[in-house]
Chain A
Amino acid sequence: MDLMLAYDNSRNARITLDAVKEMFGPLNPSITLVSVIEDVGSATSGADDLFNEQYEEQKAGVEAAAAELVAAGIPATVMLAEGDARKMILRATEEKNPDVLVMARHSHQPDHKPLGFITKRIDAIVEEFDHMTFGSVSAFLARRVKCPVLIIPTHEPAA
């Protein structure tokens, strides 16, 4: 089966990668890792260098993930894109037409900070707002992607 995995080299993406290996490994899938490097969103010329830095970092990360899959006996290819994460992943699914798209449920998980109580509240509100209003990447894709979507929860504390 053809499986597409949205991978941005974050903690959540690694959780998803492990879940995919565990769940789909026995089915001998071939996996396409899609990684979208988002624009820096800065209004200065320095952003060019910053973007390249981010690009290299993410590229290295996704290639390492692909190598990990190959080492585990799962054929994997990497697809790099630049732009808006949701639109580019949507376009990737339209081009490749995978059997299933797997992604993390993005989360700004609050953790312990100075002024713990207040900051936890603020983060919780921001996160709630995140999910209530316009929808995160996964919500957007769940509504629009034409192939089946699997969204992996990422709320368990990082190992």
Chain B
Amino acid sequence: MQVSDLFRFRNREIRALHLTWIAFFITFYVWFNMAPLASSILASSDWLTRDDIRLFAIANVALTIPARIIVGMALDKWGPRRVFSVLMVSMAIPTFFFAFGDSKEQLFVSRLVLSSVGASFVVGIHMTALWFKPRHIGFAEGFYAGWGNFGSAAAAMTIPTVALVLYGGDDGWRYAIATSGAIMAIYGVFYWFAITDGPTKDTHKKPRKAAALEVSSFRDLVLLVIFTVPLVGILSILVYRVQMMGYIDGFVASLCYGAIAVVVLYQVWLAIRVNVPILKKGVPKDDRYPFSSVAALNTTYFANFGAELAVVSMLPMFFQETWGLNPVTAGLIASAFAFVNLVARPMGGLVSDRMGNRRFVMLAYMMGIAIGFALMGLLNSSWPLIIAIAITICCSFFVQGAEGATFGIIPSIKRRVTGQIAGMAGAYGNVGAVFYLFIFMFVTPSQFFFIIATGAAVSWLVCYFWLKEPQGGFGEEYVLSSVDQAIAAEARQKIEAEAELAELFTGSEKVTLADRGSSLTLTARFKDLDDLRAALSRIGKRGKEQPAQ
């Protein structure tokens, strides 16, 4: 696929790609419409404190993790078109609530609910995968992610102007945020009618169901369990913080802790239930993959995407206060961090593809992040602004390149479970964001940058010891492992069985064969009793004719 193909608007898949990245762009625009206005919001309402704004920033990334899980399930059931439309329209509601809320609690809750909009990434990736051929999918997804992520930069660049210049006044920020929500809702409706789930009717089919990631050894299972806990467990520090600030009392807090504990235990139990039978049977050598690589990539995404989300949330205010700028300029400068995304993230993937040693590229990028943030930690008002901007851009280049490099390795770890590995690593980005923003409440911006730098250095160490260079293999027996082949054979048998059933039950309205836990359920629906009788008599006759079956 060539870059110029992107101009072929008549191609249906190109149109789908453009429609989808715009949708993703708008959701990210709305998701990050608070940070550039933070100081305006503070200035216009005397019942808000700086700590409240910091708490809203955490709330803004908190529910993305559970939302990803729910959206993932919804995708399997309804397909990306409907999920994306519903997400955009429904998430406009908390946006309006936030825009016109006049108490801390309203703002907090609306931000919390609105954080679900961050799950839009998964939906678009799914949609893109349905439209493109294998050879082109990497490019298409890179383009989608790069331009969509640009939404956060666009918000930082434009929304202060809209709020202060276009609307103006104390309530300008409210109208600006409401406008972004309205645009998202309108686009959601448009998206519903403008696109289909893939080029043909049956492109969107249900993927294999898997409750938890499969691993290859008991040691890996232990690691998986350890790495499963923070996914939802991280929300407990949000609860702790909210309780400390007096939004909720001890009783509600314990209820929240309880709910989080239940979800975590359930996930751990799922991981064990799925894996123990597999491990007891023994995983064939050709089907093994190192979970420690996945763990290492979780830490890199924690340290790069987590840091990005956190930094994007605090950077406008940092520039504004350190150098005494106005909100519009500060927003513009801070947007440089996210703006680089357009080039930096695809570049990360490209470098990882081209250099021939993905592990080395990953390590180099993580080192770059550590150094970059350490330099940002040294910044203060005595530095010339232009140098500060240059350092910010360089640092961002490494942060987003590392994100691209992370997702450059993921597809080559174990293809059969790529979706789950990507989901887990992606969620770790949000874990990182919640964690870093929590820390940010207690420290100064400089200390904060040093902490992020330390996070990247730790991740570098983990990668150094755990990340393995993905290997290819020769011949058919390497390409499809024995387990993959067993799964493929089972799928073939199922299709054959379905064809046989369809033949048996001709005249019935609907015949489906579905997995229900460890058994199969056959559902057949008939218009009336006569049809059923006819079908039964056919089966009976067949049975008599072929007693051997």
**Which A residues fall within an 8 A CB radius of B?**
36-37, 39-48, 50-55, 79-84, 86-88, 91-92, 108, 110, 113-115, 118-120, 122-123, 126, 133-135, 140
Given contacts A46-B419, A79-B474, A120-B4, contact A40 B479 (CB under 8 A): no
Given contacts A36-B472, A45-B208, contact A123 B411 (CB under 8 A): no
Query: Which of B350, B410, B474 neighbours the largest number of chain A CB atoms within 10 Å of its CB?
Result: B474
Given contacts A123-B3, A126-B3, contact A43 B474 (CB under 8 A): no
Q: How far is the CB of A72 from chain B (nearest CB, A)?
A: 25
21 A-B residue contacts at CB 8 Å?
Answer: A39-B412, A40-B137, A40-B138, A40-B415, A41-B141, A42-B125, A42-B137, A42-B411, A44-B419, A46-B419, A47-B137, A54-B135, A80-B475, A81-B478, A83-B412, A83-B473, A86-B356, A91-B474, A113-B5, A114-B8, A126-B3
- Chain B neighbourhood of A81, CB < 8 A: 472-475, 478
- Chain A neighbourhood of B133, CB < 8 A: 50, 54
- Chain A neighbourhood of B355, CB < 8 A: 134
B375 within 8 A of A: no
0/1 interface trace, chain B 342-364, chain A, CB 8 Å (1 if under):
00000001110111100000000
Question: Complex formed: what's the CA distance from A135 to B350 in Å?
Answer: 11
Question: Complex formed: what's the CA distance from A43 to B410 in Å?
Answer: 7
**Which B residues fall within an 8 A CB radius of A?**
2-5, 7-10, 125-126, 129-130, 133-135, 137-138, 141, 207-208, 349-351, 353-356, 407-408, 410-412, 415-420, 422, 426, 470-476, 478-479, 488
- Chain A neighbourhood of B8, CB < 8 A: 113-114
Q: How far is the CB of A97 from chain B (nearest CB, A)?
A: 15
Query: Which of A84, A86, A119 neighbours the largest number of chain B CB atoms within 10 Å of its CB?
Result: A84
Q: Which residue of A lies closest to B474 (CB)?
A: A81
Given contacts A88-B474, A126-B2, contact A47 B129 (CB under 8 A): yes
Question: Complex formed: what's the CA distance from A133 to B351 in Å?
Answer: 9
Q: Which residue of A lies closest to B420 (CB)?
A: A45
**Leading 6 A-B pairs by shortest Cβ distance:** A83-B472, A45-B419, A41-B138, A119-B4, A134-B354, A43-B422
Question: Complex formed: what's the CA distance from A134 to B125 in Å?
Answer: 27
Q: Which residue of A lies closest to B472 (CB)?
A: A83
Given contacts A43-B125, A45-B207, A46-B207, contact A88 B472 (CB under 8 A): yes
B415→A39 contact, CB < 8 A: yes
Given contacts A41-B138, A54-B135, A134-B354, contact A46 B130 (CB under 8 A): yes
Question: Complex formed: what's the CA distance from A120 to B7 in Å?
Answer: 11
Q: How far is the CB of A132 from chain B (nearest CB, A)?
A: 11
B7→A54 contact, CB < 8 A: no
Given contacts A41-B411, A47-B129, contact A82 B473 (CB under 8 A): yes
Given A40-B415, A43-B422, A83-B472, output 16 extra A-B contacts at Cβ < 8 Å.
A36-B472, A39-B412, A40-B134, A40-B138, A41-B353, A43-B141, A43-B418, A44-B125, A45-B208, A46-B129, A48-B418, A50-B129, A53-B134, A55-B479, A81-B474, A82-B479
B134→A51 contact, CB < 8 A: yes
A133→B472 contact, CB < 8 A: no
- Chain A neighbourhood of B426, CB < 8 A: 43
- Chain B neighbourhood of A79, CB < 8 A: 474-475
Question: Complex formed: what's the CA distance from A45 to B418 in Å?
Answer: 6
Question: Complex formed: what's the CA distance from A91 to B488 in Å?
Answer: 29
- Chain B neighbourhood of A43, CB < 8 A: 125, 141, 407, 410-411, 418-419, 422, 426
- Chain A neighbourhood of B488, CB < 8 A: 52
Q: Which residue of B lies closest to A88 (CB)?
A: B472
B126→A84 contact, CB < 8 A: no
- Chain A neighbourhood of B474, CB < 8 A: 79-82, 88, 91-92
Question: Complex formed: what's the CA distance from A81 to B354 in Å?
Answer: 18
- Chain B neighbourhood of A45, CB < 8 A: 207-208, 417-420
Q: Of A42, A113, A114, which is within 8 A of B141 by CB?
A: A42
Q: Of B351, B415, B472, which is within 8 A of A48 by CB?
A: B415
Question: Complex formed: what's the CA distance from A54 to B134 in Å?
Answer: 7
Q: How far is the CB of A84 from chain B (nearest CB, A)?
A: 6
Given contacts A44-B129, A84-B356, A88-B474, contact A50 B3 (CB under 8 A): no
